């Protein structure tokens, strides 16, 4: 399981607030949901210098006081992986991608149903995204049935770019039942695997 260095600070923005705050990581927990494929891709991105060790990653912050490294979600029945990723980014972070890179796609077996599913992992720099408009707030993008296929993404950037996003006048998100209450930015070197 990945853990974070509790002595480090990170940036938090609640959706109902007008600006971000800097706080101690120890005030929050890292979610236990961090699939191995996401860990592997993050290691690859760091070793290839695609993501720099000085960069930050945006993470959804949940009502329970924990945060997830990167974003993940389930593909809906009529969605492509990119459609699902765009919807998940809007639901979890209030942004949409202009450009993404796929790094890994693996097939797994669901132990309960004995069926195969794909997990695709992407990345994008915060500079290659846009903020949702106020007209998008609370919009339901899809009520379709979930498939088994999953998507994940690391949205990363330099500290100043992450802070700029977190200090946006308002962050609008699509409607979601995921209990996400905000966004945080964590330095990649503060994540331990």
Q: What is the pLDDT of residue 7?
A: 58
Tens digit of pLDDT per residue, the chain (193 long)?
345 455 577 899 999 999 999 988 778 888 888 888 898 999 999 999 899 999 999 999 998 788 999 999 999 988 999 999 999 999 999 999 999 999 889 888 878 888 888 999 999 999 999 999 887 887 777 777 777 899 999 999 999 999 999 999 989 998 888 899 999 999 998 886 7
**Assign residue 65 a region: left if phi > 0, alpha if psi is -120 to 50, beta otherwise?**
left
Instruction: Supply the range of the domain harboring residue 74.
Output: 3-192
The whole-number pLDDT of residue 10 equals 87
- Number of structural domains (the chain) is 1
Residue-level pLDDT at 1: 39
Handedness of CA 99, 104, 107, 112 (dihedral sign): negative
What is the model's pTM? 0.89
Nearest Cα to Cα of residue 101 among 76, 120, 83, 79:
120
pLDDT at position 126, please? 97
C-alpha 101/C-alpha 124 separation (Å) is 6
């Amino acid at each position: 399981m990945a853990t974070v260095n509790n002595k480090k600070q990170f940036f938090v923005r609640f959706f109902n607030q007008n600006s971000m705050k800097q706080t101690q990581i120890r005030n929050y927990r890292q979610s236990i949901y961090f699939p191995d494929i996401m860990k592997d891709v993050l290691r690859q991105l760091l070793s290839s210098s695609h993501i720099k060790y000085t960069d930050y990653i945006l993470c959804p912050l949940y009502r329970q006081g924990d945060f997830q490294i990167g974003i993940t979600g389930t593909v809906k029945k009529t969605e492509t992986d990119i459609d699902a990723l765009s919807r998940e980014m809007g639901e979890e972070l209030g942004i949409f991608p202009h450009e993404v890179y796929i790094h890994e796609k693996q097939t797994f077996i669901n132990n309960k149903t004995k069926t195969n599913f794909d997990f695709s992992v992407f990345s994008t720099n915060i500079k290659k995204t846009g903020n949702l408009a106020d007209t998008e707030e609370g919009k339901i993008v899809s009520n379709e049935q979930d498939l088994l296929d999953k998507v994940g993404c690391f949205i990363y950037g330099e500290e100043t770019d992450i802070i700029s996003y977190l200090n946006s006048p308002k962050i609008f998100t699509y409607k979601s039942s995921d209990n996400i209450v905000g966004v945080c930015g964590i330095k990649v070197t503060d994540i331990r695997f």
